[in-house]
Amino acid sequence: MKKINLPEKFALFSEKWSPKVIAALNEYHLKIARIEGDFTWHKHDETDEMFLVVEGSIRMDFEDHSEELAEGELIVVPRGVLHRPHADAEAKILMIEPAGTLNTGDVRDEFTQSETDWI
């Protein structure tokens, strides 16, 4: 039971699209990531996924529209919904999802991380 300082955790890594687990909450992981550019179009058939913009701004693309998110805003992507995160410039995000959730969902590509590091 120790506090978690997000700026300190973000300072521990610089790679993009490489989520890091910072805490566990019941069967969920709280993950942080630096993102920039386009991610992979994907979906998670078994779980919803939450994205909170800690710093910067992102766009969440869906098949029929996009949502712009500014610092301090969040979005919940329902299970089974095809989506693609995007950031024009580096953004820092916090995600909450069940432990073991594959970052690319139903897709396997160069962004896929089979294991997520704890920091």
In a domain, residue 21? The reply is yes
| Residue 78 predicted with pLDDT over 80 | yes
In a domain, residue 10? The reply is yes
Q: Provide the 8-state DSSP code for 42.
A: B
pLDDT recorded at residue 113: 81
- Structural domain including 35 reads 6-118
- pLDDT digit string, tens, across residues 52-72: 999 999 999 999 999 999 999
d(CA 72, CA 90): 15
| Residue 41 predicted with pLDDT over 80 | yes
- pLDDT mean over 89-102: 94
In a domain, residue 1? The reply is no
In a domain, residue 24? The reply is yes
| Largest pairwise CA distance in the chain | 42
In a domain, residue 19? The reply is yes
| Residue 92 predicted with pLDDT over 90 | yes
In a domain, residue 105? The reply is yes
One-letter amino acid for residue 11 of the chain: A
| Residue 111 predicted with pLDDT over 90 | no
In a domain, residue 60? The reply is yes
Nearest Cα residue to 101 out of 89, 84, 114, 110: 114
- pLDDT mean over 20-29: 96
pLDDT recorded at residue 102: 82
**What's 68's domain CATH number?**
2.60.120.10
User: How many domains, the chain?
Assistant: 1
pTM: 0.93
Give the percent of the chain with pLDDT over 90: 84
